[in-house]
Amino acid sequence: MSIESPKIEKEKLSREPIIERAGVVFDDFDVSFFNDAEELAGDGFEENLTETKKMVDDILGSEWKIDDKLRVYLFTDENQYKEYLKRNFPKIPDDMATFDRKTESVFRCGKIPENEEFRDYCRAQMFSGVGHEMAHLHPFFGGVGNKASKGKWEQEMICVFVEDKVRTKTGSDLMQKMSMENAKKELEKFRNKEGNFSLEAADTNWKNFYSLERLFYPWLEKRYGMEKLRQLWTVLFKDKKGISESLKEIYGEDIDDLEKQFEEGVEKAQNYEELVK
């Protein structure tokens, strides 16, 4: 007879998830643990998160004084994570970690594995994921609510660089080792088609070259130092110059030459350490 009330729909869209959470508030952070994320976070969580922020600040070159608390949401159950995102951030893709303009960072890391090495890896993933999102929100890029760049080099790859540093520092270099192995494969695949490797060409289809790309900034840092790398990022992000022009300006080298040296470096290196440490 009567049309059903839309009230039910409204309740479904409530910001509060219908799952239990534990929380901790300290310094710059307001953290919510869902599922068994608190167990994964482990002892020393507060120190690790504070240290993560310090690393982000050091890499990006200025201290971030947070007015409001950074709200971090940590999940280990993938379905509940996706449900939470769908409910609260309907426009955001269900990637591994995300944030909105209110300094919220959401992260999931699957079920906690029994195997100790993978457990350490998952814990490191948790901190590196949050570090990645913190980098996106950092004043270096204009702070909370800044518009992400269209080109990946100006922001995304910088956040990946930060993420990898945090992950290694938190105690797992499994991802870096995998990146190195995959990069060698990527190099081969690319060679077969085109004969050589080009960052600019990769730009149009970057997912195919992900492992190679995530090694490029660490490789530049090893060769020329962190200060120069930060100068490169400034030219790329703040002056909005292209990658070729920026590399030339900061390192005085043509992109083709740098690419060739990088390519040879990846090929020659026996392992990750040899290439970037």
Residue in 76, 77, 25, 70 with CA at minimum distance from that of residue 52: 70
Given a contact cutoff of 8 angstroms between Cβ atoms, the answer to whether 159 and 136 are in contact is: yes
The type of residue at 259 is E
Among positions 185-224, residues that touch Zn ion (CB under 5 A) are none
Q: Which stretch binds Zn ion (CB under 5 A): 2-10, 13-21, 158-166, 169-177?
A: 158-166
Pair type for strands 70-75 and 97-100:
unpaired
Q: How far is the CB of 19 from Zn ion (least distance, A)?
A: 26
For the chain, the C-alpha Rg in angstroms (whole number) is 20
Is 25 or 92 the residue whose CB approaches Zn ion more closely?
92
Q: How far is the CB of 96 from Zn ion (least distance, A)?
A: 9
Long-range contacts of the stretch 12-18 (C-beta < 8 A, 24+): 12/87, 13/87, 14/87, 15/87, 15/88, 17/80, 17/83, 17/84, 17/87, 17/88
Alpha-carbon span 103 to 157, nearest angstrom = 20
Q: How far is the CB of 228 from Zn ion (least distance, A)?
A: 23
Total residues in contact with Zn ion, by rule CB under 5 A = 1
Q: Which residue's CB atom is positioned nearest to Zn ion?
A: 159
Q: Which stretch binds Zn ion (CB under 5 A): 37-45, 155-163, 172-180, 190-198?
A: 155-163
Is 161 or 190 the residue whose CB approaches Zn ion more closely?
161
Q: How far is the CB of 265 from Zn ion (least distance, A)?
A: 25
Alpha-carbon span 148 to 156, nearest angstrom = 8
The label of the residue with tokens 């050091």 reads 58
Is 166 or 255 the residue whose CB approaches Zn ion more closely?
166
One residue of 159, 166, 187, 236 binding Zn ion per CB under 5 A? 159
CA atoms within a 13 Å half-sphere pointing along the CA-CB vector of 132: 20
Is 74 or 255 the residue whose CB approaches Zn ion more closely?
74
Q: Which stretch binds Zn ion (CB under 5 A): 111-119, 154-162, 189-197, 237-245?
A: 154-162
The type of residue at 194 is E
Q: How far is the CB of 138 from Zn ion (least distance, A)?
A: 12
Q: How far is the CB of 162 from Zn ion (least distance, A)?
A: 10
Q: How far is the CB of 60 from Zn ion (least distance, A)?
A: 14
Residue in 98, 106, 49 with CA at minimum distance from that of residue 75: 106
Q: Which stretch binds Zn ion (CB under 5 A): 12-20, 159-167, 230-238, 255-263?
A: 159-167
Per-residue CA distances from 169 to 120, 123, 140, 277 (Å): 12, 11, 22, 13
The label of the residue with tokens 């026996």 reads 270
Given a contact cutoff of 8 angstroms between Cβ atoms, the answer to whether 34 and 84 are in contact is: yes
Q: How far is the CB of 125 from Zn ion (least distance, A)?
A: 14
Q: Does 134 bind Zn ion (CB under 5 A)?
A: no
Is 158 or 250 the residue whose CB approaches Zn ion more closely?
158
Interface ranges with Zn ion (CB under 5 A): 159
